[in-house]
Structure 1
Amino acid sequence: MIRTRRSLLAASAAIGTLLSLTACGGGSDSAGSSGSAGGTYTFWDPYPQFDASSAWGKRVAECGTKAGVTVKRTAYDTTDLGNKALLAAQQGNAPDVMMVDNPVVSTLVEAGILNKTSDLGLDTSSIQKNIIGAGTLDGSAYGVPIGANTLALYYNKKVLSDAGVDAASIKDWSSLTAALKKVKAAGKKGITFSAINTEEGSFQFLPWFWGAGGDLTQLDSGQGVAALTLWKQWVDAGYAPKDVLQNTQTTSWQEFATGDYAFGENGTWQLGNADKAGFEYGVINIPAQKGGSAPVPTGGEFVTVPVQKDTGRYDVSKKIVTCLTSAANLLASDTTLTYVAPTSAVQTQQVAQNPELKPWVSAVAAARGRTSGGLGTKYPTISQQMWTAVQSALSGGKSPESALKTAQSAAEKGSS
């Protein structure tokens, strides 16, 4: 059941906070109601970069054809999609199928907009638990992940070689910092990342926060302070540029692509650009403080089925979702979107086709959902305080300890 207008408006505010901090039009056509053959089904996604003639546009249309209907696809920027979904729910014309960024799922669920996958008969048993976890609340999944992307460290082979650094020697924070020191001494630049005051900044800080053993319910723990202290030390020593405070993930990538930096923290989605950068590169997992791979946040979308007044439409919607996410079709869908598949079987196929994806598959296996662990709709408030603390500490306004103490206090008030 759709909840009250007040609940929807509250959820809309939460989504606005989350998305403006970050990382369609339409509605159900009356034709084809009650799941009858033919008719038009609406499909919203956050990929305006793909038009109808793109591989992705064709895949969506194909899935409609296989289900015996026409799919009317509309693409919005990620920032707009969640709020449009809430507005459509208020007006009773939500799309039949909708792809949303994984942190938004919990907010839409709280507003009563999404169906459980179990109620629709969608099978998610083969999906890795850490990936499905980003869209799971109280033990129930509310969508099927199309795939996942995440973060790792790209490195410039020549810059490291000239500085006498072997990428294989980087196992923990100490060895990474030692490498940055050598790179700077050799006249090059160390590492670039995004510490901007949006969700992108939190997204990039999380591997270091989690890699120290930090917990999002306690931002000012000793582990959290250690992670923020690491970043501040890098900026203060000149191992990372001061403009990380303004860097988006895109502008951070552009810095790495100049060829002057040893490392760039970025995502799977930059692989195509990496191949065009004009220098040899490699990829390693982000190291945890004391060694091993740090947990990284899962990015990527869930294919969801919004609540409809006409429940007879769900049968066709289920066919469309299955067409995009079934084991037989995931390889094509994820290749099109440059995602790591959410199942180990398809990941194996991806690596066989493209060995460059091997470190990314490993990173996704260690990844965590930002709203997992029961955080749900509390995450946007916590994230905002996290990136505010990062900005405060790196700019020199407060010490890491003081910045995170303020952040924790504000997060507790905002989540209460």
Structure 2
Amino acid sequence: MTGLSRRRRLAAVAVTALCALAGAGCSSTTDGPSDGGAYLVWDPYPQFADDSEWVALLKKCGTSAGVTVERTGYDTTDLTNKALLAAQQGNSPDVLIVDNPVISTLAEAGALTTTEENKLDVSSMEANLLGAGQRDGRTYGVPIGANTLALYYNKDLLTAAGVDPASVKDWTSLTAALTKVKAKGKKGITFSAIGTEEGSFQFLPWFWGSGAQLTALDSPQAVSALTLWTDWLKQGHSPNSVINNTQTTSWQEFATGDYAFAENGTWQLANAEKLGFAYGTIAIPASAGGPAPAPTGGEFVSIPVQNKTDRYAASQKLVACLTSADNLLTTDTTLSYVAPVAAVQERQAAADPKLKVWVEAVRAAKGRTGDNLGTKYPKISEPLWTAVQAALSGAKSPREALTAAQAAATAR
């Protein structure tokens, strides 16, 4: 790609794709990389102060690479905007850690180097997690960890209803469990179906678990998934509040102790330990059984394109250090992530048996921008969450809502 064509592509993506994906206004300012001294690392972890284990690891990796690391933590939305604008200005950080759906946008813009170019070994990474960072057969970063969704359950409510959590293996057995809970005067399952990316994120395990594909939103399988959710509302198994629930508010509903199940993620593990009742977790079941593919959250460690190519050698050492097996174990424990390497996943599950279900869920998961969708994903996701809203509110039938969604996605 020539310098001129790359600048034009960056400018086009800056105006369209990234601002749409981030869902926030773009700023024209940047803190900008250095002129040769410290190596800049940008990450989406502003919650970690300079005395945190995460920053200590960055400094340790810098020492190992023979360079000084200057780290800045940004809010996720702010970071994605700044990353593209910095690339436009030829002022990118040396190492960039971003949410996995953003990788496709930056790669399309020509803002990232490939792992092949920088000789980063990704052979030990789980293929389903690596897929979120791939486009047209090329890999644009190394996953640092993943989170995903599963079902938390209230042990006391299930015991009182005579439900063995191990019996919940598919949609039929899950709905049967909800029916038993309702018969005992309690509530079934809560989740987030809000009209944002969170709503699509929470619907995807059911969508993919039906066998549906994002390129055909109106398939019979997709209709069956949305029908499952709408039927739960009609039958009183789920509250009407799911239409406006974020993942945080649905967790708050579960924390009341009135719900048997809640769909949520690994990021609630610390809060789960504070619940006033005993809890457990199971994988979200696919329609016909087995764990459903849930979408992956988590970040990739990437090396942006630099004008001074002699900086790549040290950047490669930084990324290799951050994603080494031993460091991943420490980092993913800090971030409540499941590691992207099978051997490290086993060590996590051995150290904390409660992570076994999450390891299983991550192994079955897939990236939202996978299947080579890349920057097409946001154009599909919005019509999808709009369809979910329309069906759950009763404005349209599941089939009508998804037919409209497919038409909208095709027109974009």
Mark yes or no: TM-score above 0.5.
yes
Q: Residue 22 of structure 2: which of 19, 38, 42 is its match?
A: 19
What SS does structure 2 have at the residue aligned with 1:342? coil
What SS does structure 2 have at the residue aligned with 1:235? helix
What SS does structure 2 have at the residue aligned with 1:190? strand
Deviations 1:353-384 (A, max 9, x none): 11110011111111111111111110010011
Deviations 1:251-280 (A, max 9, x none): 111111111110010111111110111211
- Segments of 4+ in structure 1 off by > 4 A? 1-6
Aligned residue type for 1:99? I
Aligned residue type for 2:42? W
Structure 1 pair 212–308 and aligned structure 2 pair: CA distance change class (3 A)? same
In structure 1, the residue matched to 2:34 is 29
1:205, 1:19 → 2: CA distance?
A: 20
Please identify, of 247-256 and 3-12, the stretch whose mean Cα deviation from structure 2 is larger.
3-12
In structure 2, the residue matched to 1:35 is none
TM superposition shift of 1:239: 0.9
In structure 2, the residue matched to 1:195 is 193
Do the aligned residues in 2 keep the contact of 1:27 with 1:96 (CA within 8 Å)?
no
Matches within 5 A, 1:230-379: 230-379=228-377
1:260, 1:53 → 2: CA distance?
A: 40
1:394, 1:97 → 2: CA distance?
A: 43
TM superposition shift of 1:18: 2.1
In structure 1, the residue matched to 2:406 is 408
Structure 1, gaps ≥5 residues long: 32-38
CA RMSD of aligned residues (A): 1.4
What SS does structure 2 have at the residue aligned with 1:329? helix
TM superposition shift of 1:323: 1.1
Do the aligned residues in 1 keep the contact of 2:141 with 2:300 (CA within 8 Å)?
yes
Matches within 5 A, 1:135-154: 135-154=133-152
2:358, 2:147 → 1: CA distance?
A: 8
TM superposition shift of 1:101: 0.8
Aligned residue type for 2:20? T
TM superposition shift of 1:10: 3.2
Matches within 5 A, 1:82-93: 82-93=80-91
Do the aligned residues in 2 keep the contact of 1:214 with 1:223 (CA within 8 Å)?
yes
2:89, 2:344 → 1: CA distance?
A: 39
Do the aligned residues in 2 keep the contact of 1:150 with 1:267 (CA within 8 Å)?
yes
2:234, 2:74 → 1: CA distance?
A: 39
2:317, 2:48 → 1: CA distance?
A: 22
Q: Residue 66 of structure 1: which of 64, 67, 85 is its match?
A: 64
Do the aligned residues in 2 keep the contact of 1:19 with 1:199 (CA within 8 Å)?
no
1:255, 1:47 → 2: CA distance?
A: 27
Do the aligned residues in 1 keep the contact of 2:134 with 2:372 (CA within 8 Å)?
no
What SS does structure 2 have at the residue aligned with 1:62? helix
1:254, 1:55 → 2: CA distance?
A: 29
Structure 1 pair 27–126 and aligned structure 2 pair: CA distance change class (3 A)? same
1:9, 1:219 → 2: CA distance?
A: 31
1:246, 1:58 → 2: CA distance?
A: 39
TM superposition shift of 1:5: 4.4
1:59, 1:338 → 2: CA distance?
A: 16
2:320, 2:226 → 1: CA distance?
A: 42
What SS does structure 2 have at the residue aligned with 1:43? strand
Do the aligned residues in 1 keep the contact of 2:11 with 2:88 (CA within 8 Å)?
no
Aligned residue type for 2:352? N
What SS does structure 2 have at the residue aligned with 1:265? strand
In structure 1, the residue matched to 2:225 is 227
Deviations 1:101-148 (A, max 9, x none): 111111100000000001101000011110101101121110000011
What SS does structure 2 have at the residue aligned with 1:388? helix
TM-score (norm 1): 0.95
Please identify, of 97-106 and 329-338, the stretch whose mean Cα deviation from structure 2 is larger.
329-338
In structure 1, the residue matched to 2:10 is 8
1:373, 1:199 → 2: CA distance?
A: 18
In structure 1, the residue matched to 2:52 is 54
Do the aligned residues in 2 keep the contact of 1:26 with 1:74 (CA within 8 Å)?
no
Aligned residue type for 2:9? S
1:253, 1:198 → 2: CA distance?
A: 17
How many residues of Structure 1 are paired with residues of Structure 2 in the alignment?
405
What SS does structure 1 have at the residue aligned with 2:40? strand
Please identify, of 100-109 and 52-61, the stretch whose mean Cα deviation from structure 2 is larger.
52-61
In structure 1, the residue matched to 2:391 is 393
1:50, 1:188 → 2: CA distance?
A: 40
1:5, 1:141 → 2: CA distance?
A: 21
Aligned residue type for 2:13? A
What SS does structure 2 have at the residue aligned with 1:195? coil
Structure 2, gaps ≥5 residues long: none
Q: Residue 157 of structure 1: which of 155, 158, 172 is its match?
A: 155
Q: Residue 171 of structure 2: which of 170, 173, 176 is its match?
A: 173
2:23, 2:232 → 1: CA distance?
A: 28
**Percent identity for Structure 1 against Structure 2:** 65
TM superposition shift of 1:19: 2.6
What SS does structure 2 have at the residue aligned with 1:18? helix
